[in-house]
Amino acid sequence: MKRFVLKGTIIYCKSKEELAAVDGGYAVCEDGICRGVFETLPERYQSFTLKDYGSCLIIPGMTDLHVHAPQYTVCGYAMDLELMDWLNAYIFPEEAKYHDLSYAKTSYQVFVQDLVHSPTTRLCAFGTLHTEGTLELMRQLEEAGFTGYVGKVSMDRNSPNTLRETDGAEALKGWLSQCNFKHIRPILTPRFIPACSDRLMAEIGELQAQTHLPLQSHLSENPIEIAFVKELCPDADFYGDAYDRFGTFGTNGSTIMAHCVYSDEAEIARMKENNVYVAHCAESNFNLSSGIAPVRRFLDAGLHMGLGTDIGAGTSVSMFRSVKEAIIASKMYWRLIDSRQKPLQFSEAFYLATRGGGSFFGKAGSFEDGFDFDAVVIDDRKIRTPLPKDPVNRLERVIYADDCRTVIDKYIQGRQVICG
Amino acid sequence: MKRFVLKGTIIYCKSKEELAAVDGGYAVCEDGICRGVFETLPERYQSFTLKDYGSCLIIPGMTDLHVHAPQYTVCGYAMDLELMDWLNAYIFPEEAKYHDLSYAKTSYQVFVQDLVHSPTTRLCAFGTLHTEGTLELMRQLEEAGFTGYVGKVSMDRNSPNTLRETDGAEALKGWLSQCNFKHIRPILTPRFIPACSDRLMAEIGELQAQTHLPLQSHLSENPIEIAFVKELCPDADFYGDAYDRFGTFGTNGSTIMAHCVYSDEAEIARMKENNVYVAHCAESNFNLSSGIAPVRRFLDAGLHMGLGTDIGAGTSVSMFRSVKEAIIASKMYWRLIDSRQKPLQFSEAFYLATRGGGSFFGKAGSFEDGFDFDAVVIDDRKIRTPLPKDPVNRLERVIYADDCRTVIDKYIQGRQVICG
């Protein structure tokens, strides 16, 4: 099915402020590319296969811009520590288990199966240090129909011996040579400054300069972490500058930095200059007591931004939850930190989850002509109300209910994934 | 089935700090009363009917200490306003519809059916101003097997004409005379100071002094509301004092005050003195941008406290969500407001949802000998993980997943309610 039309109640973002909603609309897919949404199906598309979803909602696919697939095994456990202690007590010991390929296989199966039933169509995921395990994750995601980036994690200090490489650059090259997937592509993934020696970070910077591969890492998440980075890199002007000195802060290729809870004006300015993406992970920042990221300031500064579940500090693969928590976090930022920073409107948070994160892939996250055809079909009849059914209110309700059971079908670059 | 034993992995609070967990334990019910939890079933209970739930979790029932049943129709909609504007724009017009008994019937059916599939066994609910509609809610909750209090809302000012009574005391007495239910009992429910004239509040105070009925209302939720109360009651020392002057702040009977986000030392001291219960509604306080209640200070002051979903400013009947959001809120309070106020531990939040709120009913919310037998049976096999299954970690995971599908059976004072 390469040319088809979906019929339903279609909602998508035209801009951060503008949601388009078409009851009984037609979304046209031609060879994986969206040809737009129409109230009446144009003559030229009437020969396409029509899939009528009745009164279901059809929204663009959501991009999870920051997710640690191997941590899905521990998510929802032991949320009593802050970042650095939590990594040492729970996360590093868990990730070390992924040297065992059969453990990786079983664990990633659960993650990928649950992801299928979520509104996520694209993702930027961390694997672990292990080449074989990470390739296994990529294979499973590819087979399930997803599009995305997956990174073998690079780390060589301040972690247990079981999670420390002696030649991280060599390991990276070995992994890259085996990344032969169509829709799941590799992304450079230095864990974060505390876990990467200067040598390793410099090698990754060089590799990115040669290959122009994208890169993902963490930035300014927690005060203790930030103090540690200052200690490790006393010459850096700020956390982001510690990356930038190695060329791993957007100058050599597209780059995502997760969290940015404590990014100040200088860091924000550098991110803008270097086109760095923010992956805003509100639930994770709540659960690890990190704080709240200044998303309104990021928007005002014109930064690229999307949302991440940040499994396993986030506790669900559901991007519905990420949208809800992003709104809540922005309200608390306004109330408790800075009343000049207006909370996110629903349309803005929905934008971040679809078009905001999707733009990391080029044209993704909307139904405008020329965008990749990523769609999520939602049957919200289980969420009952006697109220009149305004499309946007229906969508808002699904998202606040955080109910992935409503997701019945997905399309990723036109490839159908059955969820219901 | 009046004498029975449930077998499973049993978890309950002995105190705020101490969770008891018994794998393959037996919880004994005799005529609606719990006779304790045992690792080996004592001889004297071996004639009781045994219901073996295998590896399922069995926890005490949860009490929703603050919920507006009629607002379930709008929950998850239009979360862009603060309290007073939100009431006027969305809530009052919606509640006005409940003068139509058939609308009330249909709407309450959805609420009660969803509540059946939740971990809630007891509740303190607001109806609307309308006698017939509120009686309908009580009837439906009674028939579904719940135990709880329901209040016909009293209000006579600062609301639309359609939601304003001329003789609130008379209306209250008329309603009370028709409250002939066994497990669902009436509770006095002045909406809040802004919506109740001095005369009405004084009449309710007198009625409570005569009848010793319990009472529920709202307190110190939002800065604009608090300023309005100051304007309406210039002589009151603080918001709670405005109630206390009418005897509606715990002196004449058990009293629940929802929110208490901005309660200061004087208000906390008065609540302690008057035995007032706090219904902490973290998600609602997030959604309406109200702020975060100082729950650690409430605990340190020895206040009675439970959790509320506060439908419709809260967006789910799931008390799992209320537990999760209470923990998150306390972390943000610690991080953003006062680092001396330690976040809630998981056991503390679980305590608040079970034993904390349950104590409003006497002995409820635990499995110790002499407590009412309220139990929730959770089949968490859908939440898959390769990790070893520690009982408390399993429970934590269910709660963070906020997955009511795991609730398969409930018992309320020994009455079985099928959920699965």
R_g over Cα of chain A: 21
End-to-end CA, chain A: 19
In this predicted structure, what is the pLDDT of residue B2?
A: 86
Q: What is the pLDDT of residues A166-221, one digit of tens each?
A: 999 999 999 999 999 999 999 999 999 999 999 999 999 999 999 999 999 999 99
Average pLDDT, chain A: 96
Q: What is the pLDDT of residues A131-172, one digit of tens each?
A: 999 999 999 999 999 999 999 999 999 999 999 999 999 999
In angstroms, the separation between the Cα of residue A419 and the nearest Cα of chain B is 16
Q: How far, in Å, CA of A370 to CA of A36, rounded?
A: 8
Q: How far, in Å, CA of B287 to CA of B315, rounded?
A: 9
Q: Residue A266 in contact with residue A238, Cβ under 8 Å?
A: yes
In tens digits, what is the pLDDT along chain B, a chain of 420 residues? 689 999 999 999 998 889 999 999 999 999 999 999 999 999 999 999 999 999 999 999 999 999 999 999 998 887 889 999 999 999 999 999 999 999 999 999 999 999 999 999 999 999 999 999 999 999 999 999 999 999 999 999 999 999 999 999 999 999 999 999 999 999 999 999 999 999 999 999 999 999 999 999 999 999 999 999 999 999 999 999 999 999 999 999 899 999 999 999 999 999 999 999 999 999 999 999 999 999 999 999 999 999 999 999 999 999 999 999 999 999 999 999 999 999 999 999 999 999 999 999 999 999 999 999 999 999 999 888 877 779 999 999 999 998 898 999 999 999 999 877
Picking from B110, B335, B387, the nearest residue to A289 by CB comes out as: B335
Q: Residue A13 in contact with residue A20, Cβ under 8 Å?
A: yes
B335 contacts A290? CB cut-off 8 A:
yes
Picking from A80, A106, A400, the nearest residue to B386 by CB comes out as: A106
Q: Which residues of B touch A343 (CB under 8 A)?
A: 80, 289
Q: How far, in Å, CA of A225 to CA of A83, rounded?
A: 8
Nearest residue of B to residue A314, measured between CA atoms? B400
- The angle that helices A168-176 and A131-144 make with each other, rounded to 10 degrees, is 30
The number of C-beta contacts closer than 8 angstroms across A and B is: 119
In angstroms, the separation between the Cα of residue B245 and the nearest Cα of chain A is 31
DSSP string, B255-297: EEEEE-TT--HHHHHHHHHTTPEEEE-HHHHHHTT-----HHH
DSSP string, A84-141: HHHIIIIIHHHHHGGGSHHHHHHHHHHHHHHHHTSSEEEEEEE--S-HHHHHHHHHHH
Q: How far, in Å, CA of A175 to CA of B5, rounded?
A: 56
In this predicted structure, what is the pLDDT of residue A403?
A: 86
Q: How far, in Å, CA of A390 to CA of A406, rounded?
A: 17
In angstroms, the separation between the Cα of residue B89 and the nearest Cα of chain A is 15
Task: Classify B359 as helix, strand or coil.
Answer: helix
DSSP string, B315-345: --S-HHHHHHHHHHHHHHHHHHT-TTSPPPP
ipTM: 0.97
Q: How far, in Å, CA of A241 to CA of A247, rounded?
A: 9
B334 contacts A332? CB cut-off 8 A:
no
B80 contacts A386? CB cut-off 8 A:
no
Q: Which residues of B touch A332 (CB under 8 A)?
A: 286, 289, 291-292, 332, 336
Model confidence band, residue A389 (pLDDT cutoffs 50, 70, 90) = confident
B76 contacts A336? CB cut-off 8 A:
no
Q: How far, in Å, CA of A127 to CA of A104, rounded?
A: 10
Q: How far, in Å, CA of B48 to CA of B4, rounded?
A: 5
Q: How far, in Å, CA of A420 to CA of A278, rounded?
A: 32
Q: Which residues of B touch A291 (CB under 8 A)?
A: 332, 335-336
Token pair for B172: 């209250």
In this predicted structure, what is the pLDDT of residue B80?
A: 87
Q: Which residues contact B123 (CB under 8 A, 6 or more apart)?
A: B63, B64, B65, B67, B115, B141, B146, B148, B149
Q: How many CA atoms lie within 13 A of A100 on its CB side?
A: 9
Model confidence band, residue A384 (pLDDT cutoffs 50, 70, 90) = confident
Task: State pTM to two decimals.
Answer: 0.97
B336 contacts A400? CB cut-off 8 A:
no
B76 contacts A331? CB cut-off 8 A:
no
Locate tokens 């087979």: which residue? A143
Instruction: List phi, psi (to 5°) of A116.
Output: -60, -40
**Reading across the β-sheet that carries B147-151, which strands appear in turn?**
B62-68, B120-126, B147-151, B184-186
**Reading across the β-sheet that carries A147-151, which strands appear in turn?**
A62-68, A120-126, A147-151, A184-186
**Reading across the β-sheet that carries A33-38, which strands appear in turn?**
A33-38, A19-30, A3-13, A49-60, A375-378, A407-412, A415-418
B77 contacts A292? CB cut-off 8 A:
no
Q: How far, in Å, CA of B225 to CA of A246, rounded?
A: 53
CA distances from A2 to A66, A183, A408, B260 (A): 30, 17, 20, 57
In this predicted structure, what is the pLDDT of residue A1?
A: 64
B291 contacts A387? CB cut-off 8 A:
no
What is the percent of chain A where pLDDT is above 70? 100
Residue B401 buriedness (CB in 10 A; 0-12 / 13-18 / 19+): buried
Locate tokens 């279609």: which residue? A10
In this predicted structure, what is the pLDDT of residue B1?
A: 64
Q: How far, in Å, CA of A224 to CA of A234, rounded?
A: 15
Q: Residue A134 in contact with residue A126, Cβ under 8 Å?
A: no
Picking from A76, A79, A335, the nearest residue to B401 by CB comes out as: A76
Q: Which residues of A touch B385 (CB under 8 A)?
A: 73-74, 110
Residue environment code for B42-53, b if the CB has 16+ CB neighbours within 10 A, otherwise e: eeebeebeebeb
Locate tokens 């009151």: which residue? B236
Instruction: List phi, psi (to 5°) of B289.
Output: 55, 30
Residue environment code for A197-229, b if the CB has 16+ CB neighbours within 10 A, otherwise e: beebbbbbbebbeeeebbbbbbbbbbeebbebb
Q: Which residues contact A188 (CB under 8 A, 6 or more apart)?
A: A151, A154, A172, A204, A207, A208, A213, A214, A215, A216, A248, A253
**Closest residue by Cα to residue B334 from A343, A82, A323:** A82
Picking from B289, B315, B336, the nearest residue to A343 by CB comes out as: B289
Q: Which residues of A touch B322 (CB under 8 A)?
A: none
B332 contacts A77? CB cut-off 8 A:
no
Q: How far, in Å, CA of B306 to CA of B281, rounded?
A: 9
Q: Which residues of B touch A335 (CB under 8 A)?
A: 289-291
Q: Residue A259 in contact with residue A279, Cβ under 8 Å?
A: yes
Q: Residue B255 in contact with residue B249, Cβ under 8 Å?
A: yes
Q: How far, in Å, CA of A354 to CA of A358, rounded?
A: 6
